[in-house]
Structure 1
């Protein structure tokens, strides 16, 4: 008997502890390396051959008794917990027809905040997702200037740059209970304080209706949120306002960013601001039709706004929502189907030469918002989350609920 087998025999029949099957290695099929009556199977010594379906308990080679314990390192957890924060950037149209819509937005606001703060999607008192830890709210207007031209309804402010995508820090809605100025953005840390936040938001979001009739909604949203270091340029070769810019303190790298557009007019984000010159190269077209007639010539292509998805390391952390001119009955259709809807065509009333509306709420109507839908398509293809609903709805409760659900998917995607 070999020395190895002698040692094994001592372990088996002497005072040593019982030998565990599969502990010692052997060179298959050399039976003499195992104790008498044992078998060498898959390089291990067994008294009874193991079931073929059961793998040997350890196929590693023998180790010296004094080699110390060998510990298997725990699996690496690559998921880093993230603060549950949301940055809500609102682009609110402040032109003459927007009083009703601004009021509807402020009415729906408490439900949005409460759902995010409590993590409760259906109002049953039980959390459906982990509630947010922090919410920031900033507002920009649709007035981005008219290239310095003298244009009716655009007399206030800077005719060249307008509000320029800078967060609004003054009250413009004429509400007596509102202070003349307020912080550039609101910040809310749940729980509690919801009534105070609602009062502050009402003052912040009611921009009034004295704004310019030439709205550049998408350009305002993009300039507000684009880092100053970006290669994207704006009117007069200026840069965005995020990062080191004037809006920089609002944006957080680890927050879900929501860009919400509220407008009853089509976007008129102009690449050529001579579009607004009363006697300029586009003077053959009446002012109220220039944005749609010359969309291909003078406006930025909607593909420009796919850059919004690049604002976050993960594009899914950018949520684009638009309450704009789309038919109520078609708002849940695919984006292609919405664009193909006959009420979404740019058709003018022959008597007034005014665009025919895409929808009518009874208290007002909204022009076809084709460009917002095209931007939603572009952003969706980049991995962002999108929601387009009709501004002509009786209230905004439904879209707000859908928006919360989109945000919640990103909060749940983070580490527990």
Structure 2
């Protein structure tokens, strides 16, 4: 059913006016931020519903001979990513982590270093030769929360989530615990209950090592791979072929993050005759080397020249050849961007790369046989990195925020990959972070008191303990179909069921709870209205309310939640009307708002 969301708002607004309630429209935001204290702002909010903490993370690691130092740097910097992921509210997401190589061989021809017909074929690998002890049973890491048990979590300001208590057992890590109502499991069999360093229970397929150490072994793929790398096609196979070593990795409702580390550009071949090793400077295809990838996969303002009397030539405004280009012998880049967007909503996909930078021009020189050879865009030949025209185009096309370029396209010659990996972690954090309501709620003025925590207002207990927010909540699927989401029944789990509850009496419902991370303290020495370091230490817009949507089953991929709630004024609007305008238990001059 397609329904006008504004009609719902209009009905709700009329009802509120009739009840003589003064309010502002509250919105939830991700990530949380302190709102402007100007009162009575009407806003409309729509965002991808963070209904999952599942993240499928793929690292493609180049295995060519020149990549030894870069592989070491990646392994050394990986803990920076893990640190960010563990700092996410609620702890480490439900993680699948795999490594693949760009080696797909050169079938039907055998070339030096490329003599395995399909190379590694986009399969997940446990290090070179699958020699790593961990993970067990799968070639990719599984590290997820147990299902069907209760976990108490505490997150102090700026600190990692800890778990003082839980009632999870091994049964909560069995595949049956992760099986939905239709009988489809989201996790593989054989997971083992373990405790992380913060006392939080996890279901894992590795033991005896940290996540960082497991990845370090997995990402050590060696440097004996094919020198004609097919980075984008390897990613394609990893996410579309879900058999063998890849079985169980893909989760329909998980966020997908893909990160490429390579010192050469993509050479994903469309026509296998491209691999014919017979050729010279005068033949149609030329010599079989990386320049063939450039000549038949990239187009610039200038035409490619194999004979260069000056010894080099600079080309400008280069871009991947289009599918209809008669000279194109590589797969068009949009094959891969289209594939990903068909598999998942674009908002659920992250891509990034540590590659040779491309600055709108590239230079071709000559090798020792006077055949064209790409000059590195960073570093010094023969160990420099080629400009990654095709990979850059792929990443830029998939980015949703142009500011992400700062981490999503990093020079492989930088010598420090921490900024790229921290940037990736922060974007994952934004995706799975809690959803805070940043304005006091009409009908739920003190979420802390209503949920058994210390009150954040001066309201009498009978008023502070009420939490019946006036919210309109809808699911909007990828096709625009709208369904209403009711408030959770108070006679089931106290009105606060888990996000996933197969026994939920309704298909889905919402409830408001208190989350300390949603209660932003007043800045030190604050002069903001609504802040007082002694009497009202919590900034008015953030009384700790978090909205949660509970479901029997995962929504269809790409579903968004449309949420709007009736809010309260952010401050005591009038200091002489004898009313508690912002419903914090303090009236007029007794409210610090009126003294600022």
Q: TM-score, normalised by structure 1?
A: 0.64
Cα shift at 1:148:
2.1
Tell me what 1:166 maps to.
Answer: 123
Give CA-to-partner distance per residue, 1:239-283, whole Å, 9 cap, x none: xx13x6752401122322111111001110000121111126754
Tell me what 1:247 maps to.
Answer: 246
Tell me what 1:319 maps to.
Answer: 350
1:375 aligns to 2:375 (yes or no)? no
Give CA-to-partner distance per residue, 1:339-361, whole Å, 9 cap, x none: 42x3xx25234656321001118
Cα shift at 1:172:
3.7
Secondary structure of 1:298 counterpart: coil
Q: 1:197 & 1:81 partners in 2: Cα distance?
A: 25
Deviates more, 1:249-258 or 1:180-189: 180-189
Secondary structure of 1:252 counterpart: coil
Say which of 215, 222, 238 aligns to 1:208. 222
**Superposed, which structure 2 residues align to 1:361-372 within 5 Å?**
364-372=383-391
Say which of 139, 162, 177 aligns to 1:184. 139
Say which of 326, 329, 334 aligns to 1:298. 329
- Decide whether aligned partners of structure 1 residues 285 and 317 sit closer, same or farther in structure 2, where only a CA change above 3 A counts: same
- Indicate if the aligned counterparts of 1:361 and 1:392 stay in contact, CA closer than 8 A: no
Tell me what 1:348 maps to.
Answer: 365
Structure 2 residue runs of 5 or longer lacking an equivalent are: 1-15, 21-46, 146-195, 198-206, 298-320, 322-327, 436-546, 549-596
Question: Comparing both chains, which one has the higher relative contact order based on Cα–Cα distances under 8 Å and sequence gaps of 6 or more?
Answer: 2
Is the radius of gyration larger for structure 1 or structure 2? 1
Q: 1:268 & 1:306 partners in 2: Cα distance?
A: 16
Q: RMSD between aligned alpha carbons?
A: 3.4
Cα shift at 1:410:
1.1
- Decide whether aligned partners of structure 1 residues 312 and 181 sit closer, same or farther in structure 2, where only a CA change above 3 A counts: closer
Q: 1:404 & 1:225 partners in 2: Cα distance?
A: 21
Tell me what 1:257 maps to.
Answer: 256
- Decide whether aligned partners of structure 1 residues 401 and 79 sit closer, same or farther in structure 2, where only a CA change above 3 A counts: closer
Matched pairs, number: 301
Say which of 70, 82, 95 aligns to 1:113. 82
- Decide whether aligned partners of structure 1 residues 294 and 104 sit closer, same or farther in structure 2, where only a CA change above 3 A counts: same
Cα shift at 1:313:
3.7
Say which of 310, 322, 347 aligns to 2:341. 310
Q: 2:85 & 2:208 partners in 1: Cα distance?
A: 12
Q: TM-score, normalised by structure 2?
A: 0.46
Secondary structure of 2:415 counterpart: coil
1:100 aligns to 2:69 (yes or no)? yes
Deviates more, 1:345-354 or 1:251-260: 345-354
Q: 1:298 & 1:362 partners in 2: Cα distance?
A: 27
- Indicate if the aligned counterparts of 1:143 and 1:215 stay in contact, CA closer than 8 A: yes
Q: 2:17 & 2:349 partners in 1: Cα distance?
A: 49
**Superposed, which structure 2 residues align to 1:14-413 within 5 Å?**
82-119=51-88, 129-155=89-115, 158-159=116-117, 161-169=118-126, 171-172=128-129, 178-179=132-133, 183-189=138-144, 191-192=196-197, 196-226=210-240, 241-242=241-242, 247-279=246-278, 282-295=284-297, 296=321, 297-310=328-341, 312-326=343-357, 338-340=358-360, 342=361, 345-349=362-366, 353-360=372-379, 364-380=383-399, 387-412=408-433
Secondary structure of 1:267 counterpart: coil
Q: 2:382 & 2:130 partners in 1: Cα distance?
A: 19
Tell me what 2:155 maps to.
Answer: none
- Decide whether aligned partners of structure 1 residues 103 and 270 sit closer, same or farther in structure 2, where only a CA change above 3 A counts: same
